[in-house]
C-alpha cells in the first residue's frame, strides 16, 4: 500500500510540474502575441517621460480638447470619433472608435486626440493601394490591404504625443499623430 501511495505522489508531482511548465510557456507566448516588431524596452529620456527604445513619445505642452462624436473639427486633420462612451467610472476612461482612411500616401485624418487610459478602436481603410501602420511605442504593426478594413485596439497609456507611420509599404513620409491628454 505504501508503494502505491509513493507512486501516486510521484505522478501527482510530475503532473504539477508539467502544468507549471505549460503555464510559463503560455505566459511567455502571450507576452509576444501581436508584437511583430520584437521586444520592446522602456527607458527614461530627458523630459522625464518613459519612452520605448526607438519610440516617438514626446511631452505635450498643453492639453488639446478631446473631440466627441458629432463635434465639428476646427481642422479637417483631427479625427472625430464615430463612437465614444465611458467604460470605467473610477478611471474616467472611455471607449473611442475612429475611422481613418489611408489614401494618396496619407492618413486622413492624421491626428487622433484621446485621453489617458481611453480604450481605442482604430479602423483603417486603405482605398487606393496596400499600406501598413506602425505604432512603435505600443508595439503594434498592421498590414493594410487595399479595399479592406483593419482594426487595431489598444489602451492609450501613458500620456504624451506619439507618431505612427507607414513603415514598409509606402513611398515617402506617411505619418500621423496620436495625442494622449493627461487626466
C-alpha distances (whole Å) from 112 to each of 17, 32, 156 are 47, 26, 11
Report the pLDDT value the prediction gives residue 75, as an integer from 0 to 100.
72
Low-confidence ranges of the chain (pLDDT < 70): 1-4, 8-54, 73
Report the pLDDT value the prediction gives residue 44, as an integer from 0 to 100.
40
Chain centroid to CA 119: how far?
Answer: 9
Report the pLDDT value the prediction gives residue 158, as an integer from 0 to 100.
92
C-alpha distances (whole Å) from 89 to each of 64, 73, 86, 95, 116 are 22, 27, 7, 12, 14
Using DSSP's 3-state secondary structure scheme, residue 67 falls into coil
Kindly give, in sequence order, each residue whose CB lies less than 8 Å from that of residue 132, ignoring residues fewer than 6 positions away: 141, 142, 143, 144, 166, 167, 168, 169, 170
Chain centroid to CA 168: how far?
Answer: 18
pTM of the model: 0.71
Report pLDDT digits (tens) over 171-181: 778 999 999 99
Cell numbers at 178, concatenated:
496620436
Report the pLDDT value the prediction gives residue 2, as an integer from 0 to 100.
59
Amino acid at each position: 500500500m505504501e508503494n502505491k501511495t509513493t507512486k501516486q505522489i510521484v505522478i501527482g508531482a510530475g503532473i504539477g510540474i508539467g502544468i507549471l511548465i505549460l503555464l510559463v510557456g503560455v505566459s511567455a507566448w502571450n507576452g509576444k502575441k501581436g508584437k511583430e516588431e520584437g521586444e520592446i524596452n522602456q527607458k527614461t529620456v530627458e523630459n522625464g517621460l518613459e519612452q520605448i527604445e526607438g519610440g516617438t513619445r514626446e511631452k505635450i505642452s498643453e492639453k488639446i480638447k478631446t473631440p466627441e462624436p458629432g463635434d465639428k473639427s476646427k481642422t479637417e486633420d483631427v479625427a472625430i470619433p464615430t463612437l465614444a462612451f465611458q467604460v470605467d467610472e473610477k478611471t474616467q476612461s472611455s471607449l473611442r472608435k475612429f475611422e481613418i482612411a489611408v489614401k494618396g500616401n496619407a492618413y486622413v485624418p492624421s491626428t487622433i486626440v484621446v485621453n489617458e487610459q481611453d480604450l481605442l478602436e482604430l479602423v483603417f481603410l486603405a482605398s487606393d493601394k496596400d499600406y501598413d501602420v506602425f505604432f512603435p511605442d505600443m508595439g503594434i504593426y498592421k498590414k493594410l490591404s487595399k479595399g479592406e478594413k483593419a482594426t487595431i485596439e489598444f489602451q492609450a497609456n501613458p500620456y504624451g504625443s506619439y507618431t505612427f507611420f507607414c513603415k514598409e509599404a509606402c513611398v515617402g513620409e506617411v505619418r500621423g499623430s496620436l495625442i494622449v491628454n493627461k487626466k
